[in-house]
Structure 1
Amino acid sequence: MTGLDLRELECALVLGEELHFGRTAERLYLSQGRVSQLLRSLEDRLGARLFDRTSRRVRPTPFGARFLTELRPAYTGLHGVVEQARAAARGVLGVLRLGFVGMFDEPLSELTGTFGRQNPACHLEFVELPLSDPFGAVRRGEVDAALVLGPVHEPDLMLGATFARHPQTLVLAARHALAAREALSAEELAGCPLIDVAGPAPRYWRESMAPTSTPAGLPIPRGPRISTLQEGLSMIAADRGAMLFCAPTAAALWRRDLGVVPVTGLPEASRALIWHRDAETAAHRALAQVIVDHERASHEGAV
């Protein structure tokens, strides 16, 4: 066998999973004709048929089944070597210390998992940051980048990507009178104390977490001041006040002693990837690209 072609091997492996030329073509972003061409070329190199195909079904031949079983681990290892070499060529190496504010939920796990698969030579380490100081660890060099709640208006920090825009919801004690409501307007927050976030978080950022007035200008009473997410949840459960979160985070936080109510009339909540302007690396840019690609795919899937 000469002239090894990774695309032919990939095509055979995917067809072995899908057992359908159309679905294989979709996964590989190829035409069905190109899939057939790649498969015939590989079979010619091997000197044997890998699949029996009729108008109704596709299935591996006995030889093909053995070949695919032996090929998969070798191909997976080779693919990993190639991806590692590509990452090294881009300079995406070493350790990226990534801070996060609030919940490290499933969407963040999915994003960082994609980054890890695409950049196996770069290892992520995670550091939880307090609500009261979302930017300090980046400035002090304690983390290389951070996933924080938006907005971010810090001149010394680079905004790599903004993502996860969702409507806001109010999390409050389950026994609170408003907890049974299906939705609230932003103006109704005037009757519900919001738990405040302590400094050194800048005022505009704390206002986004706990606005001091409604869109029409009605004052919103202040609840106790907290520094961490767990402190906030404890105060909410004790019915000392409520907090605003994006809808997915609120859903992830739900427990029996808490209520979650959508709020209309407020700007969408968002998350942001940030790093110090003087410390940008290829790893920062690669993680930002993962986020941009994920947001684009999510938007296209929703259209």
Structure 2
Amino acid sequence: MELRQLRYFVAVAEEGGFGRAAERLSIVQSAVSQQIRRLERELGVTLFDRSTRRVHLSGAGERLLPEARAALAAAERIRRVAADITTGDEGVLRLGGVQGPGDRIYRLLAALSSTAPRLRVRLRRLPVSDRLTAVRTGELDAALVRALPAAPGLELLPVWTDPLYAALPADHPLAAEPSPRLEHLAELPLRLAPREQNPPFHDLVTEALRTAGADPVPGPPFTHLQETLTAIAAGAPSWTVFYDVVGLPPLPGVALRPLAGLTLTTFLAVLPGPPPAPVRHLLQAAASAELPT
């Protein structure tokens, strides 16, 4: 059974004849008659009573006409949905996510909902290497990544930029600085997670220190934020650098200061070339959400 046969069937039923249906469809009458006979053979029923000059639906034809109209309407809906998917107005955006900072992702997804309300987002949290692999293989349409200087086989499009913060003892002289500089902080032991846990962030900090003309003094490793801040407040003088994920955590004995000259950029990793429509909508949403850059 073909959709054109159903269209011919509906046209003949509505026009009351093969000739008028052929005119409506802009084809020859013989083509209409031939396709209707094929449809009747396939279905095993007679659709029209041809015993009079005007063609009438048979009993089977009357019963099948609403079904044919419903099938044609469903096919038209499929075409419309496919067109919307092509333009990115509808479909699924498979996005690799990151945690925070702050409300950035919530604002981004809210803006996306405004620009493309019928576009659904399937958010997946994966380790950064798995996120990038999933984009390369097509498992994800795009992925958010932080502090990554390059990703072979992918393009990195900047989405937003966040300040980085230094945490140091509140009674240290540098705590009086509103935005301490890296070269001054470098005299203190730096609590930084091992490189294998987060290579992009580790490299961002250590290379920024070296660019500032300072070699980092290794301190105890960064474990998680609350534990590290507690150790800075109570132990020997040291410092750490972090980005705000859920709000700056106040802690007695620790000063939190934005670092001068060092920020963290979050990128959207995509395949090279013109981005697909859902990704274009996401980039438009990032611009309209007025995320810091």
Could you tell me which residue of structure 2 aligns to residue 164 of structure 1? Answer: 160
Could you tell me which residue of structure 2 aligns to residue 47 of structure 1? Answer: none
- Given the superposition, is the C-alpha separation of residues 197 and 172 from structure 1 closer, same or farther in structure 2, using an over 3 Å criterion? farther
Which aligned pairs between 1:14-93 and structure 2 lie closer than 5 A? 87-88=84-85, 90-93=87-90
Structure 2 residue runs of 5 or longer lacking an equivalent are 1-80
**Contact kept in structure 2, 1:186 and 1:214, CA below 8 Å:** no
Could you tell me which residue of structure 2 aligns to residue 189 of structure 1? Answer: 185
Residue-by-residue CA offset, 1:169-209 (whole Å, 9 max, x unaligned): 2134667775454331221121231413532754x552114
Verify: 1:136 aligned to 2:130, yes or no.
yes
Give the greater-gyration-radius structure (CA). 2
Q: Which has the higher contact order (CA 8 A, sep 6+)?
A: 2
How far the C-alpha of 1:293 sits from its partner, in A, is 4.1
Could you tell me which residue of structure 2 aligns to residue 206 of structure 1? Answer: 202
- Given the superposition, is the C-alpha separation of residues 115 and 188 from structure 1 closer, same or farther in structure 2, using an over 3 Å criterion? same
User: Counterpart of 1:186 in structure 2: which amino acid?
Assistant: L
- Give the share of equivalent positions with the same residue, in percent: 23
Could you tell me which residue of structure 2 aligns to residue 114 of structure 1? Answer: 111
**Contact kept in structure 2, 1:183 and 1:262, CA below 8 Å:** yes
1:253 partner SS: coil
1:114 partner SS: helix
Verify: 1:145 aligned to 2:142, yes or no.
yes
Residue-by-residue CA offset, 1:23-54 (whole Å, 9 max, x unaligned): xxxxxxxxxxxxxxxxxxxxxxxxxxxxxxxx
Query: How far apart, in 2, do the equivalents of 1:234 and 1:138 lie?
Result: 30
Q: How many residues align?
A: 204
Structure 1: 4+ residue segments shifted above 6 A: none
Query: How far apart, in 1, do the equivalents of 2:246 and 2:163 lie?
Result: 12
264, 272, 275: which one pairs with 2:267? 272
- Given the superposition, is the C-alpha separation of residues 210 and 124 from structure 1 closer, same or farther in structure 2, using an over 3 Å criterion? farther
User: Cα RMSD over matched residues?
Assistant: 3.8
Could you tell me which residue of structure 2 aligns to residue 234 of structure 1? Answer: 227
